[in-house]
């Protein structure tokens, strides 16, 4: 007897399709609403008499623009979505004469050229994608500096869209990172690559300042294409390293401040493409012995790629930073030992503050692929409120660290 794998494959495809339809194509996931406390905080008037003033201004803004702002939650508080808050900030800044607290409203942070961060680790299931999603949102919220963020899902497992919008994607019509790089999705002849990407490939997420380009299983074709391209020359055709940069990143580098790349647990030319394009690399690694061991073995592999780029590609710009991010730190002795090893290997400065272990990620994920940031506050989180609070504040701290790292690099080193 033999296995009828072809029938299995056919059925698997059918079932996968039915699951997709369950999501209701076209329906976005729930938006998170942000508590007005955040607005008060950012206006630096917590609890004082200015608060009423702010609310009056918001009413004025709503009237002038003919929009409704904020919605009353079950607890009687007014909630504003992030999008509304940004709208309010911008309108407050425009108000003449300016309200006295307008000086406290941060002007949007802009980089001349996007800073590219690849999240990479050869080890599978060590927290790369969860870290990417939480870091991206924390960066989007960081200090309300509103960096324009683009996420590239360079992992053919293609999970990012589930947490970033959640609509089922019809890959016959939606370009993916792989289909763009392989030119399987052709660019209309009357459009520049930038126009094509912005009009047909980039998808808006449920967070105002995060867009993304999804990944899909067929993106494995990219790896085959790159292998073929590489072997065109005896010593390796170096153009094979530049495809992601040339086809997606370079055309969009003036439209975003940060580009974050999710990667598969693999070491191949497709991953090397992200390493090539990166200004910074973050290596998320669970603070467990098995994960730590493979992570440490991965460092020399990345270093080999970087050396090859430095030695053989004239226009290659050296990497700004390579940081290890210990995640799932359960504060056990074992976790501490692993983090110590990371520091010995990388230098303490290159190991970010660890992200605590939390069951909360799994719970949020089972709830429609939500991230922790998709709950407005700890009391609305279905799991432990304490875990929610500790985890979200850990991500905010990490985002702040990374933002200042980038500011230092861009201001003093010119990436």
Ligand X SMILES: Nc1ncnc2c1ncn2[C@@H]1O[C@H](COP(=O)(O)OP(=O)(O)OP(=O)(O)O)[C@@H](O)[C@H]1O
Q: Does 127 bind ligand X (CB under 6 A)?
A: yes
Whichever of 99 and 214 has its CB closer to Mg ion, that residue is 214
- Stretch binding ligand X (CB under 6 A), from 81-89, 121-129, 297-305, 395-403: 121-129
Q: How far apart are CA 283 and CA 205, in angstroms?
A: 24
> In the bound complex, what is the minimum distance in angstroms from residue 178's beta carbon to Mg ion?
15
Whichever of 58 and 119 has its CB closer to Mg ion, that residue is 119
Q: Which partner, ligand X, Mg ion, none, binds residue 127 by CB below 5 to 8 Å per kind?
A: ligand X
Q: Does 118 bind ligand X (CB under 6 A)?
A: no
Whichever of 156 and 320 has its CB closer to ligand X, that residue is 156
Q: How far apart are CA 165 and CA 2, in angstroms?
A: 42
Q: Does 389 bind ligand X (CB under 6 A)?
A: no
Would residue 215 be called left, alpha or beta, if left means φ above 0 and alpha means ψ between -120 and 50 degrees?
A: beta
The site for Mg ion (CB under 5 A) is made up of 128-129
Whichever of 160 and 358 has its CB closer to Mg ion, that residue is 160
Helices within 278-384 (DSSP H only):
289-312, 333-346, 360-366
Residue located via tokens 């992601």: 244
Q: How far apart are CA 332 and CA 342, in angstroms?
A: 15
Q: Contact with ligand X (CB under 6 A): which of 46, 106, 124, 300? A: 124
Q: Contact with ligand X (CB under 6 A): which of 29, 36, 57, 128? A: 128
> In the bound complex, what is the minimum distance in angstroms from residue 216's beta carbon to ligand X?
14
Q: Which residues contact 270 (CB under 8 A, 6 or more apart)?
A: 154, 222, 223, 226, 244, 264
Cβ burial, residue 201 (10 Å; 0-12/13-18/19+):
buried
Helix, strand, or coil here: 355? coil
Whichever of 220 and 365 has its CB closer to ligand X, that residue is 365
Of the candidates 21, 212, 222, 17, the residue with the CA atom closest to the CA atom of residue 129: 212
Would residue 276 be called left, alpha or beta, if left means φ above 0 and alpha means ψ between -120 and 50 degrees?
A: alpha
> Contact, 163 vs 367, CB < 8 A?
no
Interface pattern 158-177 for ligand X (x via CB under 6 A): --------------------
Q: Contact with ligand X (CB under 6 A): which of 89, 305, 309, 361? A: 361
Q: Contact with ligand X (CB under 6 A): which of 54, 117, 203, 355? A: 355
**Structure tokens that stand for 209 in this block:** 């300042």
Q: How far apart are CA 253 and CA 258, in angstroms?
A: 9
Q: Does 145 bind ligand X (CB under 6 A)?
A: no
Interface pattern 188-207 for ligand X (x via CB under 6 A): --------------------
Q: Contact with ligand X (CB under 6 A): which of 105, 265, 345, 385? A: 265
- Stretch binding ligand X (CB under 6 A), from 28-36, 101-109, 127-135, 141-149: 127-135
**Cα pseudo-dihedral 61, 106, 262, 221, rounded to 10:** 60
Q: Does 358 bind ligand X (CB under 6 A)?
A: yes
Whichever of 188 and 217 has its CB closer to Mg ion, that residue is 217
Q: How far apart are CA 33 and CA 45, in angstroms?
A: 20
Of the candidates 217, 168, 216, 174, the residue with the CA atom closest to the CA atom of residue 20: 168
Q: Which residue is nearest to Mg ion (CB)?
A: 129
Q: Does 365 bind ligand X (CB under 6 A)?
A: yes
Whichever of 148 and 370 has its CB closer to Mg ion, that residue is 370
Q: Contact with ligand X (CB under 6 A): which of 357, 373, 381, 395? A: 357
Q: Judged by CB under 6 A, how many residues of this single chain contact ligand X?
A: 18
> Contact, 34 vs 81, CB < 8 A?
yes
Under rule CB under 6 A, which residues in 202-241 are in contact with ligand X? Answer: none
Q: Burial letters for 357-386: b for 16+ Cβ neighbours within 10 Å, e otherwise?
A: bbebbebbbeeebbbbbbbbbbebbebeee
Under rule CB under 6 A, which residues in 298-327 are in contact with ligand X? Answer: 327
> In the bound complex, what is the minimum distance in angstroms from residue 128's beta carbon to Mg ion?
5
> In the bound complex, what is the minimum distance in angstroms from residue 52's beta carbon to ligand X?
40
The set of long-range contacts for 300-308, using a CB threshold of 8 Å and a minimum separation of 24, is 301/122, 301/267, 302/120, 302/275, 305/272, 305/275, 305/276, 306/275
Whichever of 39 and 322 has its CB closer to ligand X, that residue is 322
Compute the residue count for the chain: 415
> In the bound complex, what is the minimum distance in angstroms from residue 387's beta carbon to ligand X?
9
Q: Report the interface residues with ligand X, using CB under 6 A.
A: 124-130, 155, 157, 265, 327-328, 355, 357-358, 361-362, 365
């Amino acid at each position: 007897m033999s296995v009828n794998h072809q029938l299995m494959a056919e059925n698997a495809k059918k079932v996968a399709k039915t699951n997709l339809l369950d999501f209701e194509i076209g329906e976005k996931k729930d938006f998170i609403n942000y508590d007005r406390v955040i607005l008060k905080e950012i206006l630096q008037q917590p609890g004082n008499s200015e608060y009423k003033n702010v609310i009056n201004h918001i009413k004025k803004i709503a009237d002038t623009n003919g929009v409704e702002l904020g919605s009353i939650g079950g607890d009687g508080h007014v909630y504003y979505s992030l999008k509304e808050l940004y709208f309010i900030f911008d309108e407050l800044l425009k108000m003449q004469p300016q309200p006295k607290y307008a000086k406290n409203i941060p002007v949007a942070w802009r980089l001349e050229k996007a800073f590219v961060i690849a999240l990479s680790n050869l080890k599978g299931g060590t927290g790369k994608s969860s870290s990417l999603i939480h870091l991206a949102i924390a960066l989007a919220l960081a200090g309300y500096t509103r960096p324009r963020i683009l996420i590239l899902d360079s992992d053919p497992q293609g999970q990012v869209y589930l947490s970033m919008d959640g609509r089922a994607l019809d890959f016959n019509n939606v370009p993916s990172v792989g289909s763009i790089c392989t030119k399987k999705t052709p660019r209309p002849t009357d459009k520049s690559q930038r126009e094509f990407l912005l009009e047909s490939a980039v998808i808006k997420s449920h967070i105002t300042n995060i867009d993304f380009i999804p990944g899909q299983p067929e993106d494995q074709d990219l790896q085959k294409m790159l292998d073929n391209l590489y072997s065109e020359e005896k010593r390796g055709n170096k153009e094979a390293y530049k495809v992601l940069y040339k086809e997606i990143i370079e055309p969009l580098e003036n439209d975003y401040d940060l580009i974050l790349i999710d990667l598969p647990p693999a070491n191949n030319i497709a991953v090397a493409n992200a390493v090539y394009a990166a200004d910074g690399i973050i290596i998320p690694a669970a603070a467990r012995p098995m994960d730590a061991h493979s992570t440490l073995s991965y460092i020399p592999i990345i270093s080999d790629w970087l050396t090859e780029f430095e030695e053989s590609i004239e226009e290659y710009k050296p990497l700004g930073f390579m940081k290890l991010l210990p995640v799932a730190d359960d504060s056990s002795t074992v976790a501490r030992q692993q983090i110590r090893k990371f520091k010995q290997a990388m230098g303490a400065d290159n190991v970010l503050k660890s992200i605590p272990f939390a069951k909360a990620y799994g719970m949020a994920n089972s709830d429609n692929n939500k991230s922790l940031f998709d709950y407005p506050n700890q009391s609305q989180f279905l799991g432990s409120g304490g875990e929610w609070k500790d985890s979200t504040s850990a991500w905010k701290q990490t985002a702040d660290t990374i933002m200042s790292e980038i500011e230092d690099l861009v201001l003093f080193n010119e990436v």
